[in-house]
Amino acid sequence: MKAWTLAIAVATTLAASVAQAEPTAKEEPACSKLEELGTIESWIGAAGCYLESGKLASAHSAFRQAASMAKAEGEIELARVAQDQALDLVSRIPLLTLKVSAELAALPGLRIERDGFGVSAALFNARVPVDGGKHTIVVTAPGMTPIRKTIEVPVEGGAVSVDLALPVDAPPAAAPAKPRATAKAKRQRRGLTVARRVLFRTG
């Protein structure tokens, strides 16, 4: 555990340096500054910073990044402890589900954002770890009045779902285009028509 104890000491020093350099900075920007330093110790410091801010999902991510870097650099003890710290947080992280209706998902040009960042369609209707606090969901599509919802997620534990359905003024989903007949098919149809006429007259 000596390596971990030393890393914590360095992380604490780095966090103090960041706080001293930007005494008016809010906690979360200070955590981001630690991430930007890009060292194992700074990621550990960022994880501790996020924990103090109640941002469990971000702390989990920072611990995992520290573990990944430590493993790559051969710091096996640091990697193991950082990974253990991340695992200890898993059951405490709140989860958010964006329940997107099939009709809404089918809209051409649909875009869903959470806090200004796009949400992949692969994450629709899936439980996603998020930090506690307020989150803003914005849904846009051509010709549709934007949907905007602000939700409150508990700091620790629990699961929150947001229903996102097609508004009444939304444009209908585009129907699949019918395949265009080829020139050969058109000639065949014309030939059949002529043949029918000939048969009718001779019959």
Domain boundaries, the chain: 2-92, 95-164
pLDDT of residue 1: 57
pLDDT of residue 154: 96
For the question of whether the overall pTM of this predicted structure is more than 0.85, the answer is: no
Please, which pLDDT band fits residue 127 given cuts at 50, 70 and 90?
very high
Residue 3: pLDDT over 70: no
Q: What is the 3-state secondary structure (H, E, C) of 136-190?
A: EEEEECCCCCCEEEEEEECCCCCEEEEEECCCCCCCCCCCCCCCCCCHHHHHHHH
For range 171-188, the mean pLDDT: 56
pLDDT of residue 38: 92
pLDDT of residue 134: 97
**Candidates 2.60.40, 2.30.29, 1.10.287, 1.10.3470; correct CATH number of 95-164?**
2.60.40
Q: Which of 14-28, 39-53, 68-82 has the lowest mean pLDDT?
A: 14-28
pLDDT of residue 199: 40
Please, which pLDDT band fits residue 177 given cuts at 50, 70 and 90?
low
Which of these, 73, 69, 48, 71, lies nearest to 60 by C-alpha position?
Answer: 48
Largest CA distance in the chain: 103
pLDDT of residue 80: 95
Residue 194: pLDDT over 50: no
For range 77-88, the mean pLDDT: 95
